[in-house]
Structure 1
Amino acid sequence: MGQTASSHTVVRIAPGLYRFDTGYLRAAHTAVYIVVDQGRAAIIDTGVPHNVEPLLEALNTLGVAYAGVDWVIPTHVHLDHAGGAGGLMQALPQAQLGVHPSGAEHLIDPSRLETGVRALYGDAFFDREYAPVTPVARNRVVSLPEQTTLYVANRALEIIYTPGHAWNHISVFDPASSTLIVGDAFGAGYPGFGEAGAPYVVPVVPPPQFSPDAYYASLEQIVALAPAQAAPAHFPLIEDVAGTAQRLAAMMAAGLRKASEAESPADLESRLLAEWALWLPAGVSDADYRAAYGKDIWLTAEGMWRWHSKQQAK
């Protein structure tokens, strides 16, 4: 497993809103968010199957009974966000699983999802990080229409559709803290790169459902909502929402230009690394940048390459 017990931390990011570091792959890589009000809770994203027990321990730390969890809400069905859903639901007797309608069947029967992820990552990685993916009972799955409002005790949570990264992607707005929990719709950040509230973030657009038009539209929707902060699944918190959206849109446009010039996914990977380094904040060395982002960029290069190839084939 790409995690250690010491990597699991729970941090309050606003009154009644907590971030749990799953430790997936490394510390400060993937987060789960927990909303708590009057002893009731909602869990937004689940991490991978190995995160279930540490996440249950986090509930104990927060004083939330397992029967006090009303909602488990994956922002989308990629397994670093929803892989733990089945195991978590087995431990939470009163919870309902809320998900985008097009993602529901993948969590009820994850066999097609597993096949696709194995093809992308390989069997060894899947077995180490994602297995076993436990199905969720159909009678506990709730498809969430856009603009649905859910409640945790008296605290409202608003469901916002934010496709682009995936068609089944949603974000969850917590008006009480003016926090938008954005999953992968608002890039991925690297702690220590940039200032608090305005970190260096990069677009994350894996295959097979990447859509540039939907991605841009989701950025505009996030800016229009004007939350006080955005809480991405892949760290850190973002307070400069409008400025970050502008940078992500510019980086996306530059990345798509590089996709049209590249000769292979590996070539595009190199081009993206060089291009997106132009947005690095002062004080970040090229070596530190490549050591951090070089581990992750292949997935976005693959997503952009496949999208561009499909456009060429039309």
Structure 2
Amino acid sequence: MNAPAALQDERLAHGITVVDTGFVRPQFDAAYLVVEEGRAAVIDTGTNAAVPRILAAIAARGLAPADVEWVIPTHIHLDHAGGAGLLMRHLPRARLLVHARGARHMVDPSLLLAGVRAVYGEDVVARDYGELVPVSADRVLAAEDGQVVHLAKRPLRLLDTPGHARHHLCIWDEASRGCFTGDTLGISYREFHDARWHYALPSSSPVQYDPLALRDSVARVLALRPSALYITHYGAVGHVAAQAEMVVRQSDAMAALTRDLHGTPGFGQRLRDGLRALYLSEARAQGVGLGDREVLQLVEADVELNAQGLEIWGRQSPD
């Protein structure tokens, strides 16, 4: 399967740049640089390996590291926040704004790293993420729901949006009428959203998936009537209502599948097979013009992580 050409950054309207962090493959994992009147914010950071790319994007906009005022991970999963500590070392004036549930893990990432190792294994974590750099406590701000911070005169509003994780924020940007949604509004790889088709799927990766909370969070974002979603996996999406509907419908189906299979012989394998069938069926319904094998290759990592998250949720709430 041919991957799309690597783009380290892509300029959008309203001073927004999509920075390809290079994680996993080209155009898989995004950080966002938002520039307003010579000031900048970074939303999501990718891993440590993304830091040179983000710094290059800052320089390409004619800015210095000291012009960055905010670093805002949507949540503390390492493909979104793993590079935050290292990045902060290069940004002398920036403050890290993070969900209150995640703030302490940015100051002392030892428990976070231990949890990630439990999911992925020590070798994978060492290869993909490296050591997490702590952030000085006096530079970390715990975000409050509805809190507004300003980039120059540009307001950015923080929304508590659990479902994918309890430590998840979405960031509403009035200037672009867009919302930086991390994983709350699902994932839609570049191969899945273009002029010909658009497919998105939910992320229930371990360990805090909650389908009812996800429904409420998606509805909260939709109530703002955004013209675009800036998703981490990957890029700007204009099919807002369609993406939201697909994500909620499949999340509901994933929860139902987990309930139906919970406690049955071969639960884990049957759950993974059911997820593959669900995602392939949905991709076909959306007219995705890729072969079955290509679709399944693109979602295979999500099948595994989503199944792990669903297994945990199923043990906690099987009925």
1:294 to 300, 310, 313: 300
RMSD: 1.6
Using the alignment, how far apart are the partners of 2:172 and 2:126 within structure 1? 34
Q: Note the alpha carbon deviations across 1:195-221, whole angstroms, 9 max, x for none.
A: 449721100011111111111101111
Are the structure 2 counterparts of residues 133 and 8 from structure 1 closer, same or farther at C-alpha, using a change threshold of 3 Å?
farther
What CA deviation, in whole Å up to 9, does each residue of 1:215-260 have, x standing for no partner? 1101111111111000110114222212221121111111112212
Mark the runs of 5 or more structure 2 residues left unpaired by the alignment: none
Q: Output the amino acid matched with 2:227.
A: A
Superposed, 1:1-314 pairs within 5 Å as 7=6, 9-196=8-195, 199-262=198-261, 263-280=266-283, 281-282=286-287, 283-312=289-318
Q: Is the contact between residue 22 and residue 31 of structure 1 (CA under 8 Å) also seen in structure 2?
A: yes
Change (3 A) 1:76 1:198: farther
Could you say what secondary structure the match of 1:150 adopts?
Answer: strand
Q: Assess if the C-alpha contact under 8 Å between 2:206 and 2:309 holds in 1.
A: yes
DSSP-derived class of the 1:32 partner: strand
Large movers: runs of 4+ above 4 Å: none
Tell me by how many angstroms 1:8 deviates: 5.3
Paired residues of 1:150 and 1:158 also in contact (CA < 8 A): yes
Cα gap change, 1:179 to 1:197, in 2 (>3 Å):
farther
Give the drift of 1:310: 1.7
Q: Deviations over 1:29-84 (max 9, x none)?
A: 11001110111100001110111122111111111110000000000011111111
Cα distance between partner residues in 1 of 2:243 and 2:175: 22
| SS in structure 1 of the partner of residue 146 of structure 2 | coil
CA distance in 1, matches of 2:86, 2:236: 28
**Structure 1 residue ranges without an equivalent (≥5):** 1-5
Distance 1:85 1:278 in 2: 37
Aligned AA (2:293): A
TM-score by length of 1: 0.94
Write out per-residue CA displacement over residues 175-204 of structure 1, whole angstroms, 9 at most, x where no aligned residue: 111110000101111213244497211000
CA distance in 1, matches of 2:117, 2:236: 31
1:8–1:22: 8 Å Cα contact kept in structure 2? no
Following the alignment from structure 2 to structure 1, what is the Cα–Cα distance between the partners of residues 301 and 242?
26
> Secondary structure at the residue paired with 2:271?
helix
CA distance in 1, matches of 2:197, 2:109: 36
Q: TM-score, normalised by structure 2?
A: 0.93
Identity among equivalent pairs (%) = 36
Distance 1:295 1:32 in 2: 20
Question: How many aligned positions are there?
Answer: 308
**Are residues 197 and 40 of structure 1, via their aligned partners in 2, closer, same or farther at CA, if it must alter by over 3 Å?**
farther
Q: 1:161 to 1:198 in 2, by over 3 A?
A: farther
Deviations 1:142-164 (A, max 9, x none): 11111111111121111111111
SS class of match (2:12): strand
CA contact (8 A) 2:18 2:235 kept: no
Instruction: Work out whether residues 189 and 201 of structure 1, in 8 Å CA contact, stay in contact via their aligned partners in 2.
Output: yes
The equivalent residue for 1:3 is none
Q: Distance in 2 between matches of 1:51 and 1:192?
A: 22
- Distance in structure 1 (CA, Å) of the matches to 2:235 and 2:40: 22
1:267 is displaced (CA, Å) by 2.4
